Structure 1
Amino acid sequence: MVGIIIASHGEFADGILQSAGMIFGEQENVKAVTLKPSEGPDDIKAKMEEAVASFDNQDEVLFLVDLWGGTPFNQASSLIEEHKDKWAIVAGLNLPMLIEAFASRFSMNTAQEIAASILDTAKDAVKVSPEELEPAESATPAAQQGSAGAPGKFEYVLARIDSRLLHGQVATSWTKATNPTRIIVVSDEVSQDELRKKLIQQAAPSNVKAHVVPIHKMIELAKDDQHFGGQRALLLFENPQDVLRAVEGGVPLETINVGSMSHSTGKVQPNKVLAFDQDDIDTFAKLKELGVDFDVRKVPADQRGDMDDIIKRAQEELNKQN
């Protein structure tokens, strides 16, 4: 896993690491390094070297620093001089950038790949209210907009179950593979959580709009045959129960990508990324009865898993518990 060093003047690095942990969870191979008022360049460089030495993989290191040209940046630059082919620095650190870097480590194995992928998220996070203070933007090319307003319904390019919803694997690998014009998180719970809604909207790639809607609204949108012609929708669900409600309500999903289902009390884990309880197993059985196929993959490059075999193993483990 790529190691991340967060470096700043003062205690900013410690604070933003704590904030990111509250939202995304505690992370391994991440260190905050601070330059205190009484310290100089050699002090923060020594801290950076100590941080790198603590990482499991010292070949891939990403520095996220507060200011381009500041002391933390300059000392990081001196360290990567011998690692230009692998290490990277991104300046202008903000919270969405850091969260995106954490998420990207699940699907990206190099520091430079992550550095390139988090730039749009960091830039898009800078917004102003009231909105009329925003500078006028140039028109988005028609090929990226889709034919909004043209008669017709959504084209569903991907429907995915992922407990983490919109994160690095979706914002990079899956959007590149499916080329959506809209990412739609379908969840009653998330639609009522303003913080999570904002983070999801910020995590969307450039030129792809992200929306969060409750299940009943998605059902309404799916039945609208006038306003979404040319729009390519990527749907994200937290769990199979929400998918079942959507399908039973009329959302025409033929295949569900099963990417990640987090573990919790009472669930069994037949593989590294999927955890099931009896309700999950029963729900997948109902979806199968409705003619839905399952595509078990974290990222597009993965080999598809056998859902029947996974469910069978999960059922056997649950039976042993009872």
Structure 2
Amino acid sequence: MRYLVMVSHGTLAPGLHSVLKMLGNDTPNILSTSLVDGMGADEYVENVKAMLAPVAADDEVVLLGDILGGSPLTNAMNTLAEKGLLAHTIAFGGMNLPMAMTAMMGLAAMDLDSLKQMMLQEGKNGMSELVVPTDDADDEDDDI
């Protein structure tokens, strides 16, 4: 089986997980947990271990974390290493909703390398500035 695992500070990962459920994917192979305010590292690691309990040695993991090098992602990677799963894991920092949606849609159908490339592209494409014209801009055009 292949799992999508999301980890974060605060409630970002569970929030993205809830959006994926809202979009119609409430499957047991999408997992999330977070390091919330006031939680110690030991408690967080125990939550990660409990979350990863159903993941078997021959399963594959797509791991999304909020910050590359942040403690949620680092501790999740350490836990995956303890379970012997790093060789079957692709991991990303800087997760966003387009990446999570792409992972969800390609989880069962795509090979990991193709999924990785598509997730990176969608994550980048999902970031863009929204430029809203203002009345001031229209006034400046009239002066020309």
TM bucket normalised to smaller: 0.7 to 0.9
Counterpart residue number, 1:103: 105
For residue 95 of structure 1, report the CA deviation from its aligned partner. Answer: 0.8
Determine helix, strand or coil for the equivalent of 1:85: helix
What TM-score results when the alignment is normalised by the length of structure 1? Answer: 0.37
Counterpart residue number, 1:45: 45
Q: How does 1:83-122 map to 2 (within 5 A)?
A: 83-108=85-110, 110=112, 114-122=115-123
Are residue 124 (structure 1) and residue 125 (structure 2) matched? Answer: yes
Counterpart residue number, 1:16: 16
Give CA deviations for 1:52-97 in whole Å, capped at 9, x if unaligned: 2124676211211111111111112223444332112111111111
Kept in 1, the 8 Å contact 2:77–2:86? The answer is: no
Unpaired stretches in structure 2, ≥5 consecutive residues: 134-144
Kept in 2, the 8 Å contact 1:62–1:88? The answer is: yes
Give CA deviations for 1:166-223 in whole Å, capped at 9, x if unaligned: xxxxxxxxxxxxxxxxxxxxxxxxxxxxxxxxxxxxxxxxxxxxxxxxxxxxxxxxxx
Give CA deviations for 1:107-132 in whole Å, capped at 9, x if unaligned: 1254x653343110111100111189
Counterpart residue number, 1:246: none
For residue 100 of structure 1, report the CA deviation from its aligned partner. Answer: 0.4
- Which residue type is aligned with residue 97 of structure 1? M
Distance (whole Å) between structure 2 residues aligned to residue 73 and residue 86 of structure 1: 16
- Which residue type is aligned with residue 42 of structure 1? D
Kept in 2, the 8 Å contact 1:8–1:34? The answer is: yes
How many residues get paired? Answer: 131
Kept in 1, the 8 Å contact 2:3–2:107? The answer is: no
Unpaired stretches in structure 1, ≥5 consecutive residues: 133-322
Percent identity (aligned): 23
Q: How does 1:96-175 map to 2 (within 5 A)?
A: 96-108=98-110, 110=112, 114-130=115-131
The CA RMSD measured in Å over matched residues stands at 2.3
**RCO higher in 1 or 2 (8 Å CA, sep ≥ 6)?**
2
Distance (whole Å) between structure 2 residues aligned to residue 4 and residue 47 of structure 1: 16
Distance (whole Å) between structure 1 residues aligned to residue 107 and residue 79 of structure 2: 22
**Counting helix residues as a fraction of each chain, which structure ranks higher?**
2
Kept in 2, the 8 Å contact 1:3–1:52? The answer is: no
What TM-score results when the alignment is normalised by the length of structure 2? Answer: 0.77
